[in-house]
Structure 1
Amino acid sequence: MAYSRTEHYDEQATSSLMKSYHEVLAALGEDPDREGLLKTPERVAKAMQYLTQGYHLDANAIINSAKFHEDVSEMIIVKDIELFSMCEHHMLPFFGKAHIAYIPNGWITGLSKIARVVDVFSRRLQVQERLTTQILGAIKESLNPLGVAVVIEAKHLCMMMRGVQKQNSVTTTSAFDGEFLKNATRSEFLKLISAKLD
């Protein structure tokens, strides 16, 4: 039996994107009809829909799908959440890790939902600064915690492949709310995400 993979994409969007990428290849001086490029417009059209699927996802709905009443008020941290996104300025990838904490105020959510919130906002055309605050905002709105903290560390291909071409630079952004605006709480969070467990 021949191998087949089933994926679902918006047919109208795929068709429109394919036409555009066919024109892009020609504008770059390539022959879009040569063997190696024949299916490239379709592949890129589908890839771009996958990489921007966050526009069709609701972060609050994801958190609320696994929201539980729990009488705890200790810091909950999910760190080293891998993320991949697309810089909206050059449409080149940036990638790295997110570290997220919140202090419950009667409600918690499934740990995987925190990682999914990262995907919701990273799977869009983004800037790292906005991505950081959007993640914080969704957790704050859905759980109404005593505090939220988000730190993202990422490498940007728009800096590595073009422009200044600095290969080892890492961009760090942070956003804090509630109890994390206090120095002691914020310092505890930053210490914990820096720690390496044996």
Structure 2
Amino acid sequence: MTTPASPVAPETAGVDLAAAERAAREFLRALGVPLDREGMQDTPGRMTRGYAELLTARPFRLTTFPNEEGYDELVLARDIPVRSVCEHHLLPFVGVAHVGYLPGSRILGLSKLARVVEHFACRPQVQERLTKQTADWLEEHLDPQGVGVVIEAEHTCMTLRGVQATGSKTVTSTLLGSLRSDASSRQEFLDLTGVRR
């Protein structure tokens, strides 16, 4: 029997696309972008819808199941796509998350690991917070023996502007419970993520 599936709702109620499109049009004009060309006339609307998609998490239901077999080994989902927007420049950062846990009395529907990452990524973010929020949420809602989250991402605020460090990646991690306190469990998790150290 599954637990009651509690909905996790998006946190962007009150989005006004028409106002955002007007603001986008003024923003682009203020930067000297010509919007009278045929190919540019709909750009403010496309820009608005694109950012709305990046900043609006889809609701999902948390589904857990009893750990009837007493499974006590690592569960890991690797290479979960991550896309978010840097809160300092509103430029995208993209990469992958590796999310794992050591089950306690319940196990999680595997797709929910990706849903939790997406939920916290769909807002202006910093990678460090995104990593910790994902791990903390899983620890709170799943009560596992341990949780590990590693995110590797390329930040366009670093690669397209400023220092222009093309190809650089940022790696962040949060380890909780036995994945933090037990050296062999921690090493197993890090080895299985495939992250180069």
- TM-score interval, smaller chain: 0.7 to 0.9
3-state DSSP of counterpart to 1:62: strand
1:46 aligns with 2:49: yes
Tell me the amino acid that sits aligned with residue 147 of structure 1.
G
Q: Give the 5 Å matches for 1:72-151.
A: 72-151=71-150
Normalised by the length of structure 1, the TM-score is 0.86
Q: Structure 2 vs 1, CA of residues 12 and 77 (structure 1 numbering), >3 Å: closer, same or farther?
A: closer
Deviations 1:48-96 (A, max 9, x none): 1111112x64xxx632xx2101132211111111111111111111111
Aligned to 2:36: 33
Which aligned runs of 4 or more in structure 1 are off by greater than 3 angstroms? none
Normalised by the length of structure 2, the TM-score is 0.86
1:187 aligns with 2:187: yes
Aligned to 1:20: 23
3-state DSSP of counterpart to 1:44: helix
Aligned to 1:5: none
User: Structure 1 residue 11: deviation in Å?
Assistant: 9.1
Could you say what the CA RMSD is over the residues aligned between the two structures, in angstroms?
1.7
User: Structure 1 residue 171: deviation in Å?
Assistant: 0.5
User: Contact 1:85–1:124 (CA<8 Å) still a contact in 2?
Assistant: yes
Q: Structure 2 vs 1, CA of residues 37 and 11 (structure 1 numbering), >3 Å: closer, same or farther?
A: farther
User: Contact 1:62–1:116 (CA<8 Å) still a contact in 2?
Assistant: no
Q: Aligned pair count?
A: 180
**Gap runs ≥5 in structure 2:** 1-12
Identity across matched positions, percent: 42
Tell me the amino acid that sits aligned with residue 114 of structure 1.
L
Deviations 1:92-115 (A, max 9, x none): 111111011101111011111101
Instruction: Give me the whole-angstrom Cα distance separating, in 2, the residues matched to 1:131 and 1:89.
Output: 14
**Gap runs ≥5 in structure 1:** 1-9
